[in-house]
C-alpha cells in the first residue's frame, strides 16, 4: 500500500538514462568496479555545483562524449522501459529493493538532490522526436547524478546495486545489447566505469536540510487530518492485493513520451518540496515498508505517518504545481482504469476512503 508514495519518492526514477548503460552490459563480478553503477540505478526519487566537485563535472563530460552514440541508438519511445524487467521477483521483492533506493535518497545532499531533479527536467524539455536528450543536457544529468552519488556512503550505494541486481533476469543485458550496436554499448559502459572511479575518488559531505518552511500550527492541522484520513481509509487499504503485479505495468494506452511528460511534472513538483519534509517523508515510507505483512499492508500507525508526511510535502509546494501533476495524469488516464481498480476492493470501503481523502485535501490546501 505504500507503493504509490514510494514511486513518487524513489530516486531510481530520475536516473533512467544512465541506468540503461548499466543494464545493456552485464556488470563485472568484482565489487571494486560497481559503486557508480549502483547509484546510477538508484539516484534520484532528485545552483551551481560545489567547487570541490569540478572533477566530477569534467568526468561527466568525458562520459557523455563516449556514451552519446549509444544513447542515440536506444529506442526511448519503446514501452519496454516502463515494464518490469524479466525475472522471478515478486512485487514485494521490488518494494524492498525500492526501499534501499529510498534510504539512499534520504542520505543525499538536499541541494544536490534539487539540482539533479532540475537537470532531469531540463533534459526532458530538450528531447527530440526519438526521445533522445541533447548532449549538453545529458552531460548535466551525468554530472548531477555523479555528485549525488558522491554525497552518500559507498555502502549505501552498494546496497541499492545488490538489491536491484538480484531482481533482474540474467537474460536482460544480452537482450538489450541486441537492440543496439554492441561496440557503442561497450564503449559507453567502459566510460561509465571510468566515471565511477572519479566519483568514488571525490566524495562530497552531504549537508543536512534546514528547518522546515511549514509552521508548527499547519503541521499539527495536517497531522490531525491525516489521522482521520487513515482511520477512514485503512479498511480499503486492507482490501487491496498489494502483491499483484498490476501496479508495475504500463498505463494502458499511454505512450512512453506521454508518461515521461507526466513524470516531468512530478519532478518539478519534487524540486519545489521542502527539503526537510522530503527527507522526513522518505523516512516515513522506509519505516512503513519495514512493517508490511505478507500481503504488503503496513501497520495503521505507519500508514498514518506516511499520510501526514505526504500532506505536509504537498502543502510545501505551490498549488499550481500540484494541479499541474493532477491535470497531466488526468488527461492520460483512461477512465475505465478507476472503474476496474474499484472492483479490487469492497465498494463501501473505497467510497469511504475517497470521502476521507477529499476532506484531507481540503485541510492540506488550507
pLDDT in tens, 117-138: 999 999 999 999 999 999 999 9
Torsion angle defined by CA atoms of residues 321, 78, 76 and 144, in that order, rounded to the nearest 10 degrees: 50
Confidence bin at 321 (pLDDT 50/70/90)? very high
Please indicate whether the domains covering 3-201 and 216-365 agree at the CATH topology level.
yes
Q: How far apart are CA 100 and CA 92, in angstroms?
A: 13
| CA neighbor of 153 nearest in space, from 278, 49, 38 | 38
**Own/partner long-range contacts of 325-329 (Cβ < 8 Å, ≥24 apart):** 325/262, 325/265, 325/266, 325/269, 328/261, 328/262, 328/265, 329/262
| CA neighbor of 154 nearest in space, from 124, 199, 98, 93 | 199
| CA neighbor of 271 nearest in space, from 137, 143, 126, 120 | 120
Residue 88: per-residue pLDDT: 84
All structural domains of the chain with their residue ranges = 3-201, 216-365
Q: How far apart are CA 57 and CA 141, in angstroms?
A: 10
User: The domain 216-365: what is its CATH number?
Assistant: 1.40.10.10
Residue 30 has pLDDT above 60, yes or no: no
Contacts with 211 (C-beta within 8 Å, 6 or more apart), sequence order? 276
CA angle 142/147/148 to nearest 5° reads 95
The alpha carbon of residue 161 and the mean position of all alpha carbons in its chain are separated, in whole angstroms, by 15
| CA neighbor of 105 nearest in space, from 234, 232, 275 | 275
Mean pLDDT rounded to a whole number for the chain:
86
Residue 16: per-residue pLDDT: 34
* Predicted model pTM: 0.83
249-281: per-residue pLDDT in tens? 888 899 999 999 999 999 999 999 999 999 999
333-343: per-residue pLDDT in tens? 988 888 888 88
Q: How far apart are CA 53 and CA 150, in angstroms?
A: 9
User: Selecting from 1.10.287.130, 1.40.10.10, 2.60.40.10, 1.10.10.10, what CATH number does the domain 3-201 have?
Assistant: 1.40.10.10
Amino acid at each position: 500500500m505504500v507503493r504509490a508514495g514510494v514511486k513518487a519518492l524513489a530516486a531510481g526514477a530520475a536516473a533512467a538514462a544512465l541506468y540503461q548503460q548499466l543494464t545493456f552490459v552485464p556488470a563485472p563480478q568484482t565489487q571494486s568496479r560497481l559503486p557508480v553503477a549502483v547509484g546510477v540505478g538508484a539516484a534520484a526519487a532528485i545552483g551551481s555545483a560545489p567547487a570541490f566537485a569540478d572533477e566530477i563535472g569534467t568526468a561527466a563530460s568525458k562520459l557523455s562524449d563516449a556514451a552519446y552514440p549509444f544513447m542515440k541508438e536506444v529506442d526511448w519511445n519503446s514501452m519496454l522501459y516502463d515494464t518490469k524487467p524479466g525475472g522471478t521477483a515478486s512485487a514485494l521483492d521490488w518494494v524492498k529493493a525500492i526501499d534501499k533506493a529510498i534510504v539512499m535518497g534520504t542520505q543525499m545532499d538536499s541541494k544536490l538532490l534539487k539540482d539533479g531533479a532540475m537537470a532531469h527536467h531540463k533534459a526532458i524539455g530538450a528531447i527530440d522526436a526519438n526521445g533522445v536528450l541533447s548532449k549538453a543536457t545529458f552531460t548535466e544529468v551525468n554530472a548531477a547524478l555523479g555528485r549525488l552519488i558522491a554525497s552518500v556512503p559507498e555502502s549505501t550505494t552498494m546496497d541499492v546495486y545488490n538489491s536491484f541486481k538480484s531482481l533482474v533476469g540474467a537474460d536482460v543485458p544480452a537482450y538489450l545489447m541486441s537492440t543496439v550496436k554492441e561496440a557503442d554499448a561497450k564503449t559507453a559502459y567502459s566510460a561509465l566505469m571510468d566515471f565511477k572511479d572519479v566519483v568514488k575518488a571525490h566524495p562530497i559531505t552531504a549537508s543536512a536540510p534546514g528547518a522546515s518552511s511549514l509552521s508548527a500550527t499547519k503541521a499539527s492541522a495536517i497531522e490531525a487530518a491525516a489521522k482521520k484520513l487513515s482511520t477512514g481509509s485503512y479498511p480499503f487499504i486492507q482490501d487491496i492485493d498489494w502483491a499483484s503485479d498490476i501496479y508495475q505495468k504500463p498505463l494502458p494506452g499511454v505512450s512512453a513520451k506521454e508518461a515521461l511528460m507526466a513524470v516531468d511534472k512530478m519532478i518539478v513538483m519534487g524540486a519545489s518540496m521542502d527539503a526537510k519534509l522530503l527527507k522526513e517523508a522518505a523516512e516515513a515510507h522506509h519505516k512503513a515498508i519495514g512493517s508490511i505483512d505478507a500481503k504488503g499492508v503496513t501497520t495503521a500507525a505507519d500508514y498514518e505517518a506516511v499520510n501526514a508526511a505526504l500532506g505536509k510535502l504537498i502543502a510545501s509546494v505551490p498549488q499550481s504545481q500540484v494541479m499541474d501533476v493532477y491535470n497531466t495524469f488526468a488527461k492520460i488516464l483512461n477512465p475505465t482504469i478507476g472503474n476496474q481498480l474499484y472492483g479490487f476492493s469492497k465498494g463501501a470501503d473505497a467510497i469511504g476512503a475517497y470521502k476521507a481523502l477529499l476532506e484531507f485535501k481540503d485541510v492540506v490546501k488550507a
